[in-house]
Copies of this chain bind each other. A is one copy, B any other.
Amino acid sequence: MPLVNRQITLANRPVGMPKETDFRLVEAPIPRPGAGEALVQALYLSLDTATRVRMNGPSANARPVEVGDVVTGEVVGRVLESNDPRMERDDIVEGMLGWQEYAVAPAKTLRKIDARTFPITLSLNVLGVPGLTAYFGLLEICHPSPGETVVISGASGAIGSLVGQIARIKRCRSVGITSSDEKVRLLTSELGFDAGVNYRQTDDLHSKLKEVCPNGIDVYFDNVGGDTTDTVIRLINTHARVGVCGQSSQYNAEQPEMGPRWLRQLILRQARVEGFQLQQFAPRFEEGLRQLSGWLRDNRLRYHEEIVEGLPQAPEAFVDLLRGRHAGKLMVKMEE
């Protein structure tokens, strides 16, 4: 049994883009599980841009990360000790256990993972939050029909890279907007997108999008917001559907950013913009996971993961993620 639990806590509330010094590596005792709880050793930690928002302090909704708190994060790990009949030692589980090597949680908040069929990292990716978010967000919020054009911002991210592929499975044209030529290649050569646009490589995203969306845009799955979304909105077709999943371009903003008003465009296009959160589909997670597993088995859904080694690397990797330096699902592999 190890004696020390390494954790990463928030040292200061970041101002703008976080710095590594906004985080602190600390040591704490290994916690002991109480009744109904399990002690879990983290194997992989998921890094997510949306965690940045929680660092801004109290907000309308998401539970904030307070200064001194262990940073919030999803983990897949191994049960070391369980005081609940639902799980036993050596079970593989997934849960919101934070940026730390060991955590105790009520067993009922943990999801047991079948480690025999797929790599366990997939429980943080296609067979977890990103996969379910892509699945329900695209199908239930955006209702794509065969032959329609689906545009995805933040397309090379964990969610976006799956949205584009599910759009293809649904016989749509799938166009990804991303931030480097290398990511465009990942989308089109490895993940089967019909087209990709590097928004940093063009000073006329509008024309570039028109070129790769000759029939206009029927569905827009937005992970980014800001100028990118302003541009897409000007190209949507009648009855277009916009699903708002994330607004990563705004997460570092201290004040609301200003942008051109475009609600009139929604009238002209009889179009809809809808924000959503994965949790609203909780009753249907089983169905989603079944479908996503099927597509994985049939090789219709591919994934890209990037892994950094060791908890101390988490802050740097997280900042890199916010700067757009990663693609697919970014995880930290914990040291054994």
Q: Which A residues form the contact surface with B (CB < 8 A)?
A: 59-62, 222, 225-226, 229, 244-247, 250, 256-277, 280
Contacts and interface: CB of A to CB of B under 8 A. Distances in A.
A265 B256 CA distance: 11
B268 A260 contact: no
A250 B265 CA distance: 12
Q: Which of A226, A250, A274 has the most CB of B within 10 A?
A: A274
A281 to B, nearest CB: 10
A247 B276 contact: no
Contact of A262 (B222, B256, B274): B256
Nearest to A62: B268
B258 A261 contact: yes
A267 B159 CA distance: 15
A280 B272 contact: no
Nearest to A266: B275
A222 B257 CA distance: 22
A244 B266 contact: yes
Contact of A245 (B257, B261, B267): B267
A263 B268 contact: no
Contacts of A270: 274-277, 280
Chain A interface helix/strand/loop/mixed? mixed
A261 B225 contact: yes
A167 B270 CA distance: 22
Given A267-B275, A273-B263, A276-B267, A258 B258 contact: yes
Contact of A269 (B62, B245, B256, B275): B275
A276 B240 CA distance: 11
Q: Which of A60, A257, A261, A270 has the most CB of B within 10 A?
A: A261
Given A60-B268, A244-B263, A273-B274, 16 more contacts: A60-B265, A244-B264, A244-B266, A247-B261, A247-B267, A250-B261, A256-B261, A258-B258, A258-B261, A259-B259, A263-B273, A266-B275, A267-B275, A267-B277, A269-B275, A272-B273
8 contacts: A60-B269, A62-B268, A256-B260, A259-B259, A267-B276, A268-B275, A270-B280, A273-B274
